Amino acid sequence: MYHMFTIKNKLLGIGAAGLITAMSLTGCGTTTTTSTSPTTTVPSTTNSNKPQNNVVVKNPNGTESVIVGGSTYKGAAKLKHFESLAQSQPTNEQAQINAALSANVNSHPHLAISYYEKAIKIAPTDAIPYNNIGNIYLRTLGQPQKALPYYQKATQVNPTYAYGWWNLALCQGQLKNITAEKQTLQQALKTIPKSDPLYSTIKQLQTSVLKAK
């Protein structure tokens, strides 16, 4: 089972294209929590999609993120719970990811990164922890240069992981490396299957970038 939640940043630029879209973070593996995913995260229950289950997080860079289904991880008691599970299951990747998700929802981005790094040590070929670290650097901390290598790694360990390509292109756009952004989008469309739900969105972004640059 995959577990995830979605972050919608109020301030998110995509190069000169200006396309605003919902971004996703994800976790994977088996867990007893109630959230879900693809290579990102969608609540596993209908109730998780309700507005009252969303959480607004104020980022250190001054922006805000709406975390869909974030209530599963929100609160000091829940963070303590997920951290306890992670510490008692040091070889369980999903336990580390859940702790990371909770840390991020509770505005502890660097703690979240540390748990994702533990997940990477357990499962170095899983693209999700790399992608999620990139998301924290890019969207939460506003440090696209630090996010870049994590998105690159996500596409390397799993070339069919659409969110890795998507986020890599957005990151390159924010860094004003338009040539690299175009190349990434072109490679993404050659690599990920057309049946992927994100394929059409990446195609749309490519069209916007080509028109704007």
Q: What is the CATH number of the domain that holds 151?
A: 1.25.40.10
Q: How far is CA 165 from CA 103, 181, 183, 198, in A?
A: 25, 10, 10, 10
pLDDT at 68: 76
pLDDT at 50: 57
pLDDT at 59: 78
Long-range contacts of 141-147 (CB under 8 A, 24+ apart): 141/59, 141/60, 141/61, 141/109, 142/59, 142/60, 142/61, 142/62, 142/63, 144/171, 144/174, 144/175, 145/175, 147/171
Torsion angle of the four alpha carbons 43, 48, 52, 58, in this order, in degrees rounded to the nearest 10: -20
Cβ neighbours, 10 Å, residue 79: 20
pLDDT at 60: 76
Domain range enclosing 131: 2-212
> Chunked in runs of 10, what are the mean pLDDT values of the chain (213 residues)?
38 31 34 28 38 76 77 94 98 96 94 98 97 94 97 98 96 96 97 95 93 76
pLDDT at 212: 82
Number of domains in the chain: 1
